[in-house]
């Protein structure tokens, strides 16, 4: 009996297994009882910034921001642009929160906290600047692609990485909705910060489009039309994530300097009126067969007007998004022709609106009305004095050469009139071009009115 009792173990295998399991689990009791301290210790990543050991090896006081690990990680995400990593852009900035807490609670060093605060300010400002530029470029590129012929998108995306990314998923969307970012204990509304910067960049984009139009001839209205369309659609895409963005009409009116009380003028209207009167009427010739104004070779009395200088070194994202897209839209504008025709009149109507187009037509009418009493009347009187009192029809027996010589002799004084070409004929050309231009603008207005009338719903049905 004694041998049998000694032969059996004190604890059975099942009991030993349960005790072993309890022993393993009890190792976590102390961390669980101090759960807050445990979570805080496990989530502390301040060691990613504090690098005193490496500072001693390099014999420097402080590493530059470019060598700071949080910035290195953030910069890596920014360089990937519109990729699945973008929603994690702000995660490395949490390192600064841990560092600041460690500096005050553990090290109790105010100067260390000041260094962390200064570096975070620089990093966050750079993140805002780069992120704003990327978001705006993404939306502008996407808008420009949406306005192009779908058949051209494949070739453009194959040659342009920025266009290819813009056609894919928008990975910036989670960042645009971020409103609870906390850095060093301070809440930051990232969406509000981006809204301010997006508004400023949109205003710059519209201003550059108008400035480029002011530096070119009136044919550039087609390029201005495309640029404003891209800006308008960019605004629509931005407001999907930033609903507090200003209305596009307010942005356009501010850039166009048409925000005054009862303002009947604007940069676009002033440019169109000035170019039409000072360039199109005196320096172009209207072709009735093609319904457009061609530019003949210049003469001594038709000098080109002075124009503003074009903006220097315009970033691609402020035009149409990328350099290949800028070149694509430049080709489309050049394909509209080298003469001012119905296509340009329709573009002018779109950028000016009906009120602006009526103001332009009124300015042209006033200019033509001023030509009649001031210029044409004096030239008509001078021509009447130069013409002989009586001109008889020569006999056919003199032949063509004789008849021509007869008329040349009779009109010798008229041919010698110094202002025959530079004054008389040139003024008549301005008058004829003005009438043709007013008719062209009225035709564009009529087409717009007819189209708008066709969109009205009929009684009891669809339009």
> How is residue 22 written in tokens?
């309890």
pLDDT range class, residue 192, cuts 50, 70, 90: very high
> Is pLDDT at 35 greater than 70 in this prediction?
yes
**Residue 285: what are its φ and ψ, rounded to 5°?**
-125, 130
The residue among 334, 327, 328, 326 whose CA lies nearest residue 149 is 328
Q: Residue 462's closest CA among 390, 350, 454?
A: 454
Q: What is the pLDDT of residue 1?
A: 45
At 392, give phi and psi (nearest 5°): -90, 155
Q: Which residue has the higher pLDDT, 78 or 382?
A: 78
> 190-218 as b/e, with b when 16 or more CB fall inside 10 Å?
bbebbbebbbebbbbbbbbbbbbbbebbb
pLDDT per residue over 325-336, tens digit each? 999 999 999 888
Q: For 423-444, how does the pLDDT look when each residue is reduced to its tens digit (9 = 90+)?
A: 677 778 888 999 999 999 999 9
pLDDT digits (tens, 9 = 90+) for 275-307: 999 999 988 989 988 889 998 887 776 777 888
Calculate the dihedral angle through the C-alpha atoms of 218, 223, 224, 230, rounding to the nearest 10 degrees.
170
Extract the tokens encoding 320: 């149409």
At 393, the pLDDT band (50, 70, 90 cuts) reads confident
Give me the half-sphere count of Cα atoms (radius 13 Å) on the Cβ side of residue 44. 17
More confident residue, 408 or 97: 97
pLDDT for residue 376? 65
**Reduced 3-state DSSP string for 235-252:** HHHHHHHCCCCCCHHHHH
Spatial contact of 181 and 90, defined as CB atoms under 8 Å apart = yes
For the segment 98-131, what is each residue's pLDDT rounded down to a tens digit?
888 888 888 888 888 888 899 899 999 999 999 9
Query: Does residue 27 carry a pLDDT above 50?
Result: yes
Taking the complete model, does pTM exceed 0.85, yes or no? no
């Amino acid at each position: 009996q004694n041998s049998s009792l000694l032969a059996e173990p004190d604890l059975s295998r099942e009991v030993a297994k349960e005790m072993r399991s309890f022993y393993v689990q009890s190792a976590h009791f102390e961390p669980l009882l101090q759960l807050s301290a445990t979570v805080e210790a496990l989530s502390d990543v301040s060691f990613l910034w504090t690098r005193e050991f490496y500072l001693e090896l390099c014999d420097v006081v402080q590493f530059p921001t470019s060598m700071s690990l949080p910035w290195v990680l953030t910069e890596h995400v920014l360089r990937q642009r519109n990729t699945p990593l973008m929603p994690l852009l702000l995660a490395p900035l949490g390192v600064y929160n841990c560092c600041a807490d460690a500096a005050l609670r553990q090290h109790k060093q105010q100067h260390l906290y000041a260094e962390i605060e200064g570096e975070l300010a620089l990093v966050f400002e750079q993140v805002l600047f780069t992120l704003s530029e990327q978001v705006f470029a993404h939306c502008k590129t996407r808008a420009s692609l949406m306005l192009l012929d779908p058949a051209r998108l494949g070739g453009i995306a194959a040659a342009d990485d920025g266009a290819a990314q813009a056609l894919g998923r928008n990975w910036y969307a989670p960042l645009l909705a971020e409103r609870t970012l906390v850095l060093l204990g301070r809440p930051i509304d990232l969406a509000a910060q981006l809204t301010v910067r997006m508004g400023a960049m949109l205003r710059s984009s519209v201003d550059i489009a108008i400035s480029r139009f002011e530096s070119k001839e009136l044919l550039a209205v087609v390029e201005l039309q495309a640029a404003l369309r891209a800006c308008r659609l960019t605004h629509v895409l931005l407001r999907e994530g930033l609903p507090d963005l200003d209305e596009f009409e307010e942005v356009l009116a501010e850039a166009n300097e048409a925000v005054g009380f009862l303002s009947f003028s604007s940069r676009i209207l002033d440019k169109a009126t000035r170019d039409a009167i000072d360039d199109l009427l005196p320096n172009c010739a209207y072709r009735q067969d093609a319904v457009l104004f061609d530019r003949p070779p210049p003469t001594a009395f038709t000098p080109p007007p002075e124009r503003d200088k074009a903006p220097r070194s315009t970033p691609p994202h402020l035009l149409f998004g990328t350099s290949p897209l800028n070149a694509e839209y430049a080709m489309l504008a050049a394909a509209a022709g080298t003469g001012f025709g119905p296509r340009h009149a329709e573009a002018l109507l779109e950028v000016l609106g009906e009120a602006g187009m009526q103001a332009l037509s009124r300015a042209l009418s006033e200019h033509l009305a001023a030509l009649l009493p001031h210029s044409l009347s004096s030239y008509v009187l001078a021509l009447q004095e130069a013409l002989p009192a009586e001109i008889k029809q020569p006999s056919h027996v003199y032949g063509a050469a004789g008849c021509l010589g007869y008329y040349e002799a009779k009109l010798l004084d008229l041919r010698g009139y110094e202002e025959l070409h530079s004054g008389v004929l040139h003024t008549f050309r301005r008058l004829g071009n003005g009438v043709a231009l007013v008719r062209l603008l009225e035709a564009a207005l009529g087409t717009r009115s007819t189209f708008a009338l066709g969109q009205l719903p009929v009684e009891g049905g669809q339009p």
